[in-house]
Amino acid sequence: GLVYLNGEWLVPEQAKVSVFDRGFLFADGIYEVIPVYHGRPFLAQYHLDRLHRSLAAIAIPDQPDAFWQSLVVELIDRNEMQNGLIYFQVTRGAESKRSHLPQGPVTPTIFASISPLELHWDTPEPAKVVLCEDIRWLRCDIKSISLLGNIMLKQYAQQQAAIEPMLHRDGSVTEGASSNYFAVKDGVIFTAPRDNLILPGITRMWVLELAQQLKLPVREEAFHISELAQLDELFLTSSSREVQPIGQIDDIIIGNGRCGPLTQKLIEAFHESKRAHLA
Ligand code: PMP
């Protein structure tokens, strides 16, 4: 496949970045991931808006919507991609020496690629997650390429045969290492509020929208780890996993360990919205 780097289309082996790039030296950059279904980006404008917010938050110069939109189209066309995940990364750029503060105006490094994604229409098997203290920084709303905390937490989850960590701060569940959580209790859907402690997932936003259309009661309030054993249903969301039912947290079985009815409804609504997008 072809990747985009600073105005050029290259085979991946030819795409090279300076060792003085601030992304390499400091993780001084942000990224964005956009799903592509049937050769068209899904919820693209929401992803581009989040990309703009991430860049603005760390004061890296941005590009107009039209630039990102045509990159999306070219990535899909040049790679003849039907279903895939687009990856955008922007770093502050390269300088002649390592210095925490940029020495002058820097030209951002823009990298874009696309990888194939299997489209699924089934209901995934409920998966296991593990509870972890959220050890990350306090600006999780920025989609930073600095992902050390997320990686350490994911490694721990993998050691416990879990698909994701469930992160909490002082007992309040924030999100996953690359996903957002939703809990169901007595017919009400709970998810952590949109603040600096979570990445505002586009799938999270879309599921909230679908829940509203289905007239399912939703509260954007964090649920507490002391309530986990009493939850009726649990699921997580992300662009690559869509809506994933969770049947177990550590040794706690959620509901009867199967996909709950509200989760099932939202999975079907999500698939339906994908079908509408393909049409
Ligand atoms: N939270 C974090 C920390 C993430 O990294 C991601 C995925 N990048 C998400 C949530 C889910 O976001 P989205 O639904 O936009 O994929």
pLDDT score at 119: 86
Count CB atoms within 10 A of the CB of residue 204.
Answer: 23
30: left (phi over 0), alpha (psi -120 to 50) or beta: beta
Of all atoms in ligand 1, which is nearest to the CA of residue 140? Answer: 3
Residue 158 has pLDDT above 90, yes or no: yes
Where a domain ends, among 94, 116, 138?
116
Distance separating alpha carbons of residues 241 and 203, to the nearest angstrom: 9
Amino acid at 47: H
Q: How many domains does the chain have?
A: 2
In a domain, 194, yes or no: yes
Answer yes or no: do 162 and 235 share one domain.
yes
For 231-244, b/e burial (b = at least 16 CB within 10 A) is bbbbbbbbbebbbb
Average pLDDT over residues 83-111: 96
Q: What is the mean pLDDT of the chain?
A: 97
Answer yes or no: do 28 and 94 share one domain.
yes
- Alpha carbon of 203 to ligand 1 centroid (Å): 8
Of all atoms in ligand 1, which is nearest to the CA of residue 175? Answer: 1
CB of 263 closer than 6 A to ligand 1? no
**Could you give the residue numbers annotated as active site?**
143
Six token digits for residue 160: 């416990």
Does the ipTM exceed 0.95?
A: yes
Residue 64 has pLDDT above 90, yes or no: yes
- Alpha carbon of 261 to ligand 1 centroid (Å): 24
CB of 201 closer than 6 A to ligand 1? yes
Q: Which domain holds residue 103?
A: 3-116
pTM of model > 0.95: yes
Least confident of 50-59, 96-105, 205-214: 96-105
In a domain, 122, yes or no: no
